[in-house]
């Protein structure tokens, strides 16, 4: 290997270990590339709250966290279809973790480029071969795609030692920002205003996708369980009874299989007042995830 090639090889290797590669370009993908444990007992799918709410390390069970940050609901089904062979064929559980706005994200079918590295064509709503080639090239050889500005974030995450527990003020501000962003994302003035046709379509699609996911589990001898992970009170208090009816009951009331267990920990007092278990008002930190996972698995008689 020439010196030039060696240098490129090592730079690529460094980039592949960095924050930008693992948390921006291919966020949450590496666990799919690496996972190779058959007869897994429990798998959780879902979006950001699922990623942060579950941690099976140290528990006497084979569990895998296949949540993906900023994940549309259709990708949950895609992940399940592509990776369910890892599950124990005789007895396994899939935890479908829902975010507050899952009900409004049902029609959202666009999958980011990173999905090309973890999903196969038949499960992608829109598959484009040349895009896949480009993404795979970037995965193997990230240097030509590496933005220089990412160097700062990579260095920052190397020198940053540990994250502090957020203050109550930070939790209040964070909850405000999160709600504002969600309302923007789903084109809502407020949760109390009438839903647009687009939002109604989204809810209809979310119900269909959830039922399809449950049916798929049942057909493959998998126990589906729906879980709403905890939130810090500054955020959960922003959802009124009517809001919850719109965002959750619209889904739950339309689940065709009434035997599916639903575990709602949104306001669980063990978590909602304990800042030490959260990284922000919405997402649990590692400590919180370990405690929550243990509670859920105990509730499901898995440990």
Partner 1 sequence: MTKLITRNGNIVPPVGLGTFPFQGDEMCEVVLNALKIGYRLIDTSDDYRGESGVGLAVDKLADIGLNREDIFLLTKVTDDDSYDDEILTGIYFNKNSKFMKRHSVEEIVREKVEKSLYEMHTDYIDALLIHQPYPNYSVEIWKVLIELKREGVVRYIGVSNYQERHIESLIKETGVCPEINESYASPVGIKQSLVDYCIDRNCQFVTYSPLMEVSTGKITPNDLQPIMSKYHKSLAQIVIRWNIERGCIPLPKSKKLSRLAENFDVFDFQLTTDEMKMINTLNYDYQHFLESLMCAGI
Tell me which of 62, 81, 238, 287 binds partner 1, using CB under 8 A: 81
Q: Is the Cβ–Cβ distance between 209 and 106 less than 8 Å?
A: yes
Q: Which stretch binds partner 1 (CB under 8 A): 114-122, 142-150, 167-175, 190-198?
A: 114-122
How remote is the C-alpha of 158 from its chain's centroid? 24
Q: Is the Cβ–Cβ distance between 275 and 165 less than 8 Å?
A: yes
Strands in the chain per DSSP E: 42-46, 63-65, 92-97, 222-228, 261-264
Whole-number Cα distances in Å, 175 to 127, 144, 285: 36, 38, 16
CB-wise, 217 or 277, nearer to partner 1? 217
> The tokens 């509730």 sit on which residue?
299
Closest approach of Cβ 73 to partner 1, in Å? 16
Site residues for partner 1, 124-163, by CB under 8 A, read: 124-127, 129-130, 132-133
Tell me which of 122, 140, 144, 148 binds partner 1, using CB under 8 A: 122
- Cα–Cα distance, 102 to 106 (Å, whole number): 7
Closest approach of Cβ 122 to partner 1, in Å? 4
Report if residue 1 touches partner 1, rule: CB under 8 A.
no
Report if residue 90 touches partner 1, rule: CB under 8 A.
no
The two beta strands, 222-228 and 261-264, are: parallel
Closest approach of Cβ 7 to partner 1, in Å? 27
Report if residue 37 touches partner 1, rule: CB under 8 A.
no
Tell me which of 85, 181, 240, 273 binds partner 1, using CB under 8 A: 85
Helix (H, G, I), strand (E, B) or coil at 252: helix
Helical pair 73-83 and 197-219, crossing angle rounded to 10 deg: 20
Closest approach of Cβ 94 to partner 1, in Å? 13
CB-wise, 127 or 145, nearer to partner 1? 127
Report if residue 211 touches partner 1, rule: CB under 8 A.
no
Size of the chain in residues:
303
Q: How many CA atoms lie within 13 A of 104 on its CB side?
A: 21
Report if residue 82 touches partner 1, rule: CB under 8 A.
yes
Q: List residues near partner 1 by CB under 8 A.
A: 38-39, 78, 81-86, 119-127, 129-130, 132-133, 216
């Amino acid at each position: 290997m020439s010196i030039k090639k060696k240098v490129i090889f090592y730079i690529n290797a460094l980039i592949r270990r960095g924050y930008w590669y693992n948390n921006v370009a291919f966020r949450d993908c590496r666990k799919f590339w690496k996972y190779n444990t058959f007869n897994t007992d429990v798998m959780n799918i879902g979006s950001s709250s699922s990623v942060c709410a579950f941690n099976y390390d140290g528990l006497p069970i084979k569990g895998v966290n296949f949540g993906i940050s900023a994940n549309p609901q259709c990708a949950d089904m895609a992940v399940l279809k592509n990776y369910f062979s890892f599950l124990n064929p005789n007895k396994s559980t899939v935890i479908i973790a829902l975010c507050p706005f899952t009900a409004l994200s049902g029609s959202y079918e666009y999958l980011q480029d990173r999905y090309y590295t973890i999903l196969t064509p038949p499960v992608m709503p829109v598959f484009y071969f040349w895009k896949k080639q480009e993404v795979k090239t970037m995965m193997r050889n990230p240097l030509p795609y590496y933005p220089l500005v990412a160097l700062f974030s990579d260095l920052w995450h190397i020198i940053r030692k540990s994250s502090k527990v957020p203050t109550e003020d930070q939790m209040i501000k964070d909850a405000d920002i999160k709600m504002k962003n969600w309302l923007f994302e789903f084109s809502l003035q407020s949760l109390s205003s009438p839903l647009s046709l687009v939002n109604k379509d989204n809810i209809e699609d979310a119900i269909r996708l959830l039922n399809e996911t449950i049916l798929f589990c049942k057909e493959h001898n998998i126990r589906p369980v729906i879980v709403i992970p905890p939130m810090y009170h500054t955020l959960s208090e922003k959802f009124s009874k009517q809001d919850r009816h719109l965002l959750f009951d619209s889904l739950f009331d339309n689940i065709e299989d009434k035997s599916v267990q639903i575990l709602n920990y949104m306001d669980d007092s063990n978590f909602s007042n304990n800042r030490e278990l959260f990284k922000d008002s919405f997402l649990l930190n590692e400590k919180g995830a370990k405690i929550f996972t243990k509670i859920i698995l105990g509730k499901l008689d898995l440990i």
